[in-house]
């Protein structure tokens, strides 16, 4: 049974700070990693994906992957109140069309 | 831009009714998925399809069936709705997996179904 674990939060950060969201996964063979943002009452929206060890930056977002530790994280720099949402981590394994989703971490950014 | 649409945003049905939820994607994706999302339980996969007329059970297929007659359209059917099927239903699509990498999934806006 593939598992993806996230701290449910809420993670509270002040406006302008760096928010760090973490995710661990159980399947060592996993090769594809995704972060989704979900506002309350809305559907998940893809914000980042990463396939290789290391960092990947896109604007204020940085995804970090460490396959040896089976750990993936999302950093949000200069956090804004509009970043307040639940962030879902999703992991894909070779040979599978499906993704395994974590239950998400709620982020609250206070003005 | 990937566009996934769902037939209704909100739906109220009575116990025992047959319910159809439709999903259409415009990006020529091979894979389509149906999830339900409940507080504290996260996203749970009901069924998915990797090609026309093909379907695979997900984690919670009981009480549901699906139909994929055209590549762009994937329908979820609740044969006899029950109150425990009250939930947010999300459709998603993705390109076919190439090599070892799974592709990202794109979600529709969701249908909030209430069964009374």
Mean pLDDT calculated for residue range B9-24: 97
Question: Among B28, B37, B60, B38, which Cα is nearest to B47's?
Answer: B60
Give the nearest chain A residue to B49 (CA atoms). Answer: A97
Closest partner residue to B104 (CB to CB) among A49, A88, A93 is A49
- At B47-72, the pLDDT tens digits run 999 999 999 999 999 999 999 999 99
- With an 8 Å Cβ cutoff, are B42 and A95 in contact? no
Give the nearest chain A residue to B58 (CA atoms). Answer: A98
Per-residue confidence band for B99, with pLDDT thresholds at 50, 70 and 90: confident
The burial of A61, by beta-carbon neighbours within 10 Å (0-12 exposed, 13-18 middle, 19 or more buried), is given as: middle
Neighbours of A107 (CB within 10 A): 22
Q: Is the pLDDT of residue B100 over 90?
A: no
- At A48-87, the pLDDT tens digits run 999 999 999 999 999 999 999 999 999 999 999 999 999 9
- With an 8 Å Cβ cutoff, are B43 and A95 in contact? no
Helices (H), chain A: none
* Exposure on the CB side of residue B18, measured as CA atoms within 13 A: 5
- For an interface test with A, the pick among B33, B43, B55, B60 (most A C-beta atoms closer than 10 Å) comes out as B43
Mean pLDDT calculated for residue range B11-36: 96
B78: left (phi over 0), alpha (psi -120 to 50) or beta: beta
* Exposure on the CB side of residue A44, measured as CA atoms within 13 A: 32
């Amino acid at each position: 049974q593939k598992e993806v674990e996230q701290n449910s939060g809420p993670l509270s950060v002040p406006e302008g700070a760096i928010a760090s969201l973490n995710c661990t996964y159980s399947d060592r063979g996993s090769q594809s990693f995704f972060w989704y943002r979900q506002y309350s009452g809305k559907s998940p929206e893809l914000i980042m994906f990463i396939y290789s060890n290391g960092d990947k930056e896109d604007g204020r977002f940085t995804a970090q992957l460490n396959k040896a530790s089976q750990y993936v994280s999302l950093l949000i720099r200069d956090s804004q109140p509009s970043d307040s949402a639940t962030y879902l981590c999703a992991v894909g394994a070779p040979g599978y069309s499906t993704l395994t989703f974590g239950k998400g971490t709620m982020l609250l950014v206070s003005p | 831009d990937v566009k996934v649409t769902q037939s209704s945003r909100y739906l109220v049905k009575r116990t025992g009714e047959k319910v159809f939820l439709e999903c259409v994607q415009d990006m020529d994706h091979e894979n389509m998925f149906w999830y339900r999302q409940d507080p504290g339980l996260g996203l749970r996969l009901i069924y998915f399809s990797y090609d026309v007329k093909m379907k695979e059970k997900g984690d919670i297929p009981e009480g549901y069936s699906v139909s994929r007659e055209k590549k762009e359209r994937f329908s979820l059917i609740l044969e006899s709705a029950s109150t425990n099927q009250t939930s947010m239903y999300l459709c998603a699509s993705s390109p076919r997996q190439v090599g070892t990498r799974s592709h990202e999934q794109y979600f529709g806006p969701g249908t909030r179904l209430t069964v009374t």
